[in-house]
Amino acid sequence: MAFLWWLRNWAPSYSLAEELLLPQWWLDEVEALTEDKPQLIFYGPPGTGKTFVANRLARSWADAGNVTIVQFHPSYAYEDFVQGFRPAADTEGNVRFELRDGPLIRLAKKAAESGARCILLIDEINRANISKVFGELYYLLEYRDDEIALQYGGHFALPENLQIIGTMNTADRSIALLDAALRRRFHFVPFFPDREPIDGLLRRWLRTNRPDMLFVADVVDRVNELLDDRHLQIGPSHFMTDRLDETTLGRIWTYSILPYIEEHFFDDPDAVADFALDKLRSEVQAVDAEADAEKQIDGAVAAAANSS
């Protein structure tokens, strides 16, 4: 029975760690966070895998039919997310308005009826006016045992088995605009290239899938050192493609990385020259050659000391 419990609760997550190339302790930590608060936000610069990891975690925690994905945007409103009136035509073609539930209430009802774990994944949660979209649901995010009256009538409660994972890009500094009420109701999980679990992810992926292109990890590390702003760092997902080769790398750099950097240095276009791919590769190769030379010297010194 102990083995069956382990197989049911732990074995799948270990295979997920291998698939995502993320530390097992980190996956366990994120799941433990949901036991404290059933709301998480993955935040960091673009290209760090926030949405991909959130999606894979959600589908490992819950059945596919119990996972709902919502994309927030500036026009997204309470009526889209929670509940609102929508036009509908009857059998005679007459248009009338009927009250319809949004994805939050629909998934909450499924969670309450089934008792199964349900996950609501909100991509780009900071692109909408979060206070307006959630409305009175702010209260229920913290007090899951209570009910609250909805704007359009009736009472509603959020079941404990409904969990929310949001993703948030920080390149536009919008995380600084979040109010204290939202921060208190969510755990915030960082996704930065210089911090676990993303630190070293590209190198691990290249070592497993494209060892001949391992130098790309050094180049990206060098770029992020030059940018000197963790909210603007280059994420690994730009390069995690099975088609990665010299030609593909050049295209990615020309049409994805450089435009991003040019936008950052809009007032200082001369600075963009420091991010030319050939220049960065030369710098990385010089550093590697120097490190190899130092290792050879250290090895020679150690050998001489042992012989004496």
Domain that holds residue 212: 201-288
First and final C-alpha spacing in the chain: 61
Contact 141, 39 (CB under 8 A): yes
Mean pLDDT, all residues of the chain:
86
Contact 58, 14 (CB under 8 A): no
For tokens 């050659």, what's the residue? Answer: 289
Q: How many domains does the chain have?
A: 2
Mention every residue, 6+ apart, whose C-beta is less than 8 A from residue 36: 187
Same domain (yes/no): 223, 257? yes
Mention every residue, 6+ apart, whose C-beta is less than 8 A from residue 31: 13, 57, 61
Question: Is position 12 within any domain?
Answer: no
The string of pLDDT tens digits covering residues 112-124 is 999 999 999 999 9
Question: Is position 221 within any domain?
Answer: yes
Same domain (yes/no): 185, 227? no
Cα separation, 39 vs 183, in Å, equals: 10
264-268 contacts at long range (C-beta below 8 A, 24 or more positions apart): 264/227, 264/232
Neighbours of 38 (CB within 10 A): 23
Same domain (yes/no): 220, 273? yes
Of 144, 169, 190, which closes a domain?
190
The string of pLDDT tens digits covering residues 189-206 is 999 999 999 999 999 999
pLDDT at 3: 45
pLDDT at 4: 44
Question: Is position 277 within any domain?
Answer: yes
Of 190, 212, 244, which closes a domain?
190
Same domain (yes/no): 185, 94? yes
Measured on CA atoms in the order 178, 256, 220, 16, is the torsion positive or negative?
A: positive
Cα separation, 104 vs 76, in Å, equals: 13
CA atoms within 13 A on the CB side of 94: 3
Question: Is position 211 within any domain?
Answer: yes
Same domain (yes/no): 180, 218? no
CATH number, domain with residue 163: 3.40.50.300
Same domain (yes/no): 183, 205? no
Same domain (yes/no): 153, 114? yes
Instruction: Spell out the per-residue pLDDT of the chain, length 308, in tens.
Output: 454 444 445 444 458 899 999 999 999 999 999 998 999 999 999 999 999 999 999 999 999 899 999 999 999 999 999 988 888 877 777 788 888 999 999 999 999 999 999 999 999 998 888 888 988 888 898 888 899 998 888 889 999 999 999 999 887 766 656 677 778 889 999 999 999 999 999 999 999 999 999 999 999 999 999 987 888 899 999 999 999 999 999 999 999 999 999 988 888 888 999 999 999 999 988 865 555 445 555 454 455 556 65
The string of pLDDT tens digits covering residues 148-168 is 998 888 889 999 999 999 999
Cα separation, 61 vs 165, in Å, equals: 12
Question: Is position 24 within any domain?
Answer: no
Same domain (yes/no): 206, 82? no
Same domain (yes/no): 122, 169? yes
CA atoms within 13 A on the CB side of 131: 6
The C-alpha angle with vertex 183 and arms to 177 and 188, in degrees rounded to 5, equals: 100
Same domain (yes/no): 173, 91? yes
Instruction: Please state the pTM of the whole predicted model.
Output: 0.84
Cα separation, 237 vs 77, in Å, equals: 30
Same domain (yes/no): 171, 73? yes
Reported as type and span, the H/E element at residue 11 is: helix 11-20
Same domain (yes/no): 142, 253? no
